[in-house]
Amino acid sequence: MCNERMNRLCDLIDRKIDDGTFVPMMNVANSTMRQLGKFLVLFVYFISTFLAFTSFFIIIPYEQLYKPVWFLVTLGVMGLYFLFNIQYHYYKARTIPPVVNPGEEGDAFCEKCNYWKSDRAHHCSVCERCVLGMDHHCIWINQCVGSHNHRHFFLFVANLTLAAATIIIAGYQSFYDHLFLVRDAINAWFSTVIFRTTLKQLIARQYYNMHLFRTLFAIMTVSGFARTSVVFCYLLSAILLIMVGGLTLWNVYLISIGCTYIDYLKLTGSKKKLSARKRLNKGFKSNWKNFLGLRRNRTFFRCVVLPMALPPVKYEDINSRQDVFDVV
């Protein structure tokens, strides 16, 4: 009985889809996602700015009570590196459009685009176009992750994961003191000689009057701004480490087997589909070299460690029709 009802429900849904009943609803949903994506882009910039401000101006100065200066300088340099890479790759991921409609006559035909599309292309109803090598539509960058911007998206989430992990590890003592209001430690932060000299030299003398600078921090502490910022920054970093870290690991797995998420979904199931997925897998090393653009004498340091934009790179060893569209 339950199976019959489920079958009837599925048949009803199929009929409604075929006769266009859900089209207006889908159009509204897609339009909403596009508008929401514009807001979320600004939200990402706000969050990254907040994390950077709290880390550089509250957590690192406060950690002088527990860590040596050389370690804090190292943290500062690492923080600047992560911040620049996060902002750079996020900007590239959301502004570089993935390759669109690379098909030719004889390929599959997309009725929505009214154009041919290759086997590796997928139509995105939100972007309203066929995207080559589509992984997924990301509302946080307000466009699809596909060929040409997938590399920047991966490096963005990878650097964000590493930055969140650094805050979690290095800022634990600050989080503990501010969460439980360890007054002795907080008072020592303001009375320490290191605070009066180092921060005065690095920040106050260059940009502000020292009296104004200390007054600002006093107001922050009294009003609870510093405590709220540190606690929120630490908890937000923990959430990012779990969620974005999980996304990073999932992308590592997909890249390692030579698939996008769409490929993984489409080619999972029958033996024929699994065989097709295996044809996309060029081997662990080749998959990563192709994805990161390590071709034409490009090095890992130049393409990954340094923030750099690269044009799409095809496999040199093209053996079949499907391989033509293997691009970064």
Q: pLDDT tens for residues 261-296?
A: 888 888 776 666 677 667 777 888 888 888 888 876
Residue 5 forms part of a structural domain: no
**210 contact partners, CB below 8 Å, separation of at least 6:** 200, 204
Residue type for position 81: Y
How far is residue 51's CA from residue 59's CA, in Å, rounded to a whole number?
10
Q: What is the pLDDT of residue 311?
A: 65
How far is residue 99's CA from residue 133's CA, in Å, rounded to a whole number?
8
Residue 139 forms part of a structural domain: yes
Residue 259 forms part of a structural domain: yes
Residue 242 forms part of a structural domain: yes
Place of tokens 């600004």: 42
Residue 114 forms part of a structural domain: yes
Residue 308 forms part of a structural domain: yes
Please give the DSSP secondary-structure letter assigned to residue 321.
Answer: G
Residues with pLDDT less than 70, the chain = 1-31, 101-103, 182-223, 269-273, 276-277, 296, 311-328
How far is residue 311's CA from residue 290's CA, in Å, rounded to a whole number?
12
Q: Look up residue 110 and give its two tokens.
A: 């997309």
Of 130, 141, 139, nearest to 95 by C-alpha is: 141
pTM, whole model, 2 decimals? 0.79
Q: What is the pLDDT of residue 199?
A: 46
For residue 290, give its domain range. 22-325
Q: What is the pLDDT of residue 30?
A: 64
Q: What is the pLDDT of residue 87?
A: 94
How far is residue 276's CA from residue 259's CA, in Å, rounded to a whole number?
11
**φ, ψ of residue 173 in degrees (nearest 5):** -65, -40
How far is residue 136's CA from residue 120's CA, in Å, rounded to a whole number?
13
User: Looking at the chain, which runs of residues are DSSP E strands?
Assistant: 108-110, 115-117, 121-124, 129-132, 136-138, 143-145
What's the Cα-to-Cα distance from 295 to each of 117, 258, 279, 302, rounded to whole Å? 27, 16, 21, 11
Q: What is the pLDDT of residue 20?
A: 52
**φ, ψ of residue 326 in degrees (nearest 5):** -85, 100
Residue 231 forms part of a structural domain: yes
Residue 10 forms part of a structural domain: no
Q: Look up residue 66 and give its two tokens.
A: 């527990």
Q: Look up residue 101 and give its two tokens.
A: 């409609």
Please answer whether residues 247 and 155 qualify as being in contact, where contact means their C-beta atoms are separated by less than 8 angstroms: no
Q: How many domains does the chain have?
A: 1
Q: What is the pLDDT of residue 308?
A: 81
